[in-house]
Structure 1
Amino acid sequence: MDKTNYPGYEELSEISFAEVERLTKARLPLIIPWHPKQMVPLGTFFHSTKKSEEYPWAKNSPFDPSSLARTAMIVGRDYGSQSTFKSRSTSRSTQTVDHLELGFGVGVGLPFLASVTVHGDYCKDVQENKDSNKTSINFSTRAGSVFFERQPRLSYDAIGTIKYFGGLEAFHEKYGDYYLAGYRLGGDTGILVSGSNSFRKQLEKFGITVTVEVLFVEASVTHTKDVLTTSAGSEVKVIGYDTLGYTRYNSSAENDRSSVADVRNQAEDYVEEARNLDLRVSDKLDELEIRDGDVVDESVCRELVEAGLVVELMLLPAITLRDVQNWVIEDDVI
């Protein structure tokens, strides 16, 4: 099934389009979630006007090839990591967007992202979940970035476009209005537990238990008893995603001891993986021998992408490039 056709996708895509429109109009950076299935080199330009298309990346670059090749790409690694935790509970079947807002960058509902990211899978599963009561948690960790040491210079063709053939508007139309300035290294994990009305108190207690676990307090087993004592005919579901492993979770069980216990054990495994997300990211970076201050080439960047460590792309407006600014206001003839 095409993920862009699932029920509720239209609502999510509208939110994504509106947010991208707001940011691009204000010429603010775009931070979009990414995945290990596609390598986009630093310096690639992006057409925000083509955000509804499957491939919004520019085919031509305004950067001078030799300047781009000489521009070093540097690793900035945060050894302490920056980790966050969020949790949300709702009690109506229509309240799904609340759970979609946890842990995503801009535009997860855009076609070129929804069709390939585990975020997109999670959105599909959440939108299709009609249970009344939901508890979701999100873990995020950011361990550094890869960025240009300096800005590459524009080619003569790009300068000529600005100077003689239409100015900044023509430049945007030909090359794009944003460029890929950096990769954010890290990971995201999201988990949603849901059930029917008869399951409300048990879900609430499950959510509290998970929160306690996240805060590194000794884990309790109260939710185990709760799940096993739900009324006949109730159902528990666990869905989620993990960007580092490029995996998604989707389990459910009716109220019989064995199947509910299986789902419970799976949920506990997911939470444990999520709790250790920062360590997992750090270990994988160490495995690839990525250190702070390293100068890397495109092959190393590809390894980072394929390892699931590039969790977000950092896109900056083309107008932030010094060469673009200079030639927009320059009066001299070349």
Structure 2
Amino acid sequence: MALVDVFPENPFTPSLPYASAAQLPVTVPWGGKALQMGTPLIVGSQPQDTQFLEDRCAFSSDSLKKTSLTFRHVSRGMITESNTHTAAARHEHTSFSIQAQIGGSVIGVSGRGNYEARGATNQDDTAEDELTPQSHGQIVNASFRTEYQSGWIGFVSPPRLSPLALELLHTHDDPHTAFRERFGDYYVGAYLLGGANAQLVSSNDIAASASKDLSGKGEVRFLGFKKEKKFDSHEKADAAFGQIRLTGYDSLEAWECDHQENEDVRLIHQVADENEKRCRSLIGRVNGKVEMFQLKDGGVVSVELCEGICRAHLVVQILLLPYKKLREYAVAVLANASGTDAVDSGSHMASTPAGKA
């Protein structure tokens, strides 16, 4: 794939085909499915063509067993709040993760995928003939997004390529294409541990009271919904709110919501309050699971423990590394080009989350 062929329509929106063509390490959100380190991913031109090749590992099975995995502790996070009054500003309510570009079913995390897709395309779902004469024809959006990473699990050093992988690189007339068709573009190089939580409320901007309650005038956290706030009959009416929709997810609990109301906003209010509690407790819940698995900085992590960590939804993202950045890969291709049988006796290039794009 040439860069010009896969350049994204919106350069501010990440594209996995473009990242693959540029040989960039990438991170994508993950769900509760167990995924073995070293698993290959092939990137298709269409989302449905992108898939993990779990039965075609490019690494030697013996090397995979002998290569140690380690946990490294970090502590970093991000909280973002946005309040807008037009669908044109919808990009402020998403992180535009690459996950949204390849489909939630591919990487096993539907909650975040649904939220990203909704946030990226959010617009007035009410037909013009359904709007009241008082309608302003705008959308009021209020959102918060919270992400926290507590550490990562990765290879101490990359495992060795399998004899079949090396044979393709040493002998094939087009080694890059032959390798890609068999083993894909990327391999799973690390699990990033943590959690993510987000919530987006959208409504027709029909009355000043509705706008105020949704946006919070930019000074109240979590959408401006106050627990002591009592909605009166006027605020519940269609003429006050029009359509109201809540979309949200919590990666650590595998919770997601996409609910729409036309009349009574009490349910939306209740769900928003409950997810606010999840958001406030995200760091504590993540650290609690890290302690449950007894992960220590610099400690060795077994393959069996990694499976349990994945199923506990503690892997918030996975790091995908391109094969072409492996030293062993590069040396084999050079040997093929020069017509020699040179074999690299050294190690691979360093591949850790610290070096990702």
TM interval, short-chain normalised: 0.7 to 0.9
**CA offsets, 1:253-303, max 9 Å, x none?**
555xxx534432331221121022111100111122222222122221111
Assess, with a 3 A threshold, how the Cα gap between structure 1 residues 143 and 17 changes in structure 2: closer, same or farther: same
**CA offsets, 1:93-141, max 9 Å, x none?**
4654442x23x53132313348742112324555576361111110000
What residue is the counterpart of 2:64 in the other structure? 68
Give the whole-Å Cα distance in 1 for the aligned partners of 2:268 and 2:221: 15
Q: Structure 1 unaligned runs (5+)? A: 1-12, 214-218
Give the whole-Å Cα distance in 2 for the aligned partners of 1:319 and 1:140: 30
Q: Any idea what SS the aligned residue of 2:308 has?
A: helix
What residue is the counterpart of 2:190 in the other structure? 182
Q: Contact 1:135 / 1:207 at 8 angstroms: preserved in 2?
A: no
How far did residue 210 of structure 1 move? 1.2
Assess, with a 3 A threshold, how the Cα gap between structure 1 residues 248 and 228 changes in structure 2: closer, same or farther: farther
Query: Among residues 167, 174, 178, which one is paired with 1:170 in the alignment?
Result: 178
Matched, 1:43 2:38: yes
How far did residue 147 of structure 1 move? 0.2
Q: Any idea what SS the aligned residue of 2:51 has?
A: coil
Query: How many residues of Structure 1 are paired with residues of Structure 2 in the alignment?
Result: 308
Matched residue type, 1:201: K
Q: Any idea what SS the aligned residue of 1:139 has?
A: strand
How far did residue 252 of structure 1 move? 4.8
**CA offsets, 1:142-170, max 9 Å, x none?**
11111001111112221111111132232
Matched, 1:148 2:155: yes
Give the whole-Å Cα distance in 2 for the aligned partners of 1:119 and 1:85: 16
Q: Structure 2 unaligned runs (5+)? A: 1-7, 126-138, 343-357
Give the whole-Å Cα distance in 2 for the aligned partners of 1:114 and 1:306: 14
Normalised by the length of structure 1, the TM-score is 0.81
Matched, 1:238 2:270: no
Assess, with a 3 A threshold, how the Cα gap between structure 1 residues 227 and 179 changes in structure 2: closer, same or farther: farther
**CA offsets, 1:39-67, max 9 Å, x none?**
22101111113662366122322211111
Correspondence list, 1:1-334, <5 A: 19-36=15-32, 38-49=33-44, 52-53=47-48, 56-58=51-53, 59-78=55-74, 81-93=75-87, 96-99=90-93, 101-102=94-95, 105-111=97-103, 112-113=105-106, 116-123=109-116, 125-126=118-119, 127=121, 130=124, 132-165=139-172, 166-197=174-205, 198=207, 199-205=210-216, 208-210=219-221, 224=229, 230=235, 232-233=237-238, 234-235=241-242, 236-253=244-261, 259-330=264-335, 331=338, 332-333=340-341
Assess, with a 3 A threshold, how the Cα gap between structure 1 residues 239 and 206 changes in structure 2: closer, same or farther: farther
Matched residue type, 2:40: F
Q: Contact 1:118 / 1:241 at 8 angstroms: preserved in 2?
A: yes
Superposed CA RMSD = 3.0
Assess, with a 3 A threshold, how the Cα gap between structure 1 residues 264 and 328 changes in structure 2: closer, same or farther: same
Give the whole-Å Cα distance in 2 for the aligned partners of 1:61 and 1:115: 19
Matched residue type, 1:304: I
Q: Any idea what SS the aligned residue of 1:299 has?
A: helix
Give the whole-Å Cα distance in 2 for the aligned partners of 1:285 and 1:201: 40
Give the whole-Å Cα distance in 2 for the aligned partners of 1:145 and 1:161: 32
Give the whole-Å Cα distance in 1 for the aligned partners of 2:44 and 2:277: 41
Over the matched positions of the two proteins, sequence identity in percent amounts to: 24
How far did residue 183 of structure 1 move? 0.6
Give the whole-Å Cα distance in 2 for the aligned partners of 1:206 and 1:245: 30
Q: Contact 1:64 / 1:156 at 8 angstroms: preserved in 2?
A: yes
**CA offsets, 1:58-105, max 9 Å, x none?**
232221111111001111122xx2110112222234654442x23x53
Q: Contact 2:236 / 2:265 at 8 angstroms: preserved in 1?
A: no
Q: Contact 2:197 / 2:279 at 8 angstroms: preserved in 1?
A: yes
Matched residue type, 1:143: S
Assess, with a 3 A threshold, how the Cα gap between structure 1 residues 151 and 163 changes in structure 2: closer, same or farther: same
Q: Contact 1:238 / 1:250 at 8 angstroms: preserved in 2?
A: yes
Give the whole-Å Cα distance in 2 for the aligned partners of 1:319 and 1:114: 22
Normalised by the length of structure 2, the TM-score is 0.76
Assess, with a 3 A threshold, how the Cα gap between structure 1 residues 51 and 296 changes in structure 2: closer, same or farther: farther
Q: Any idea what SS the aligned residue of 2:221 has?
A: helix
How far did residue 227 of structure 1 move? 8.0
Q: Highest CA radius of gyration, 1 or 2? A: 2
How far did residue 194 of structure 1 move? 2.1
Q: Contact 2:201 / 2:247 at 8 angstroms: preserved in 1?
A: yes
Give the whole-Å Cα distance in 2 for the aligned partners of 1:275 and 1:245: 14
Give the whole-Å Cα distance in 2 for the aligned partners of 1:125 and 1:168: 37
Assess, with a 3 A threshold, how the Cα gap between structure 1 residues 207 and 240 changes in structure 2: closer, same or farther: farther
Matched residue type, 1:107: Q
Q: Any idea what SS the aligned residue of 2:47 has?
A: coil
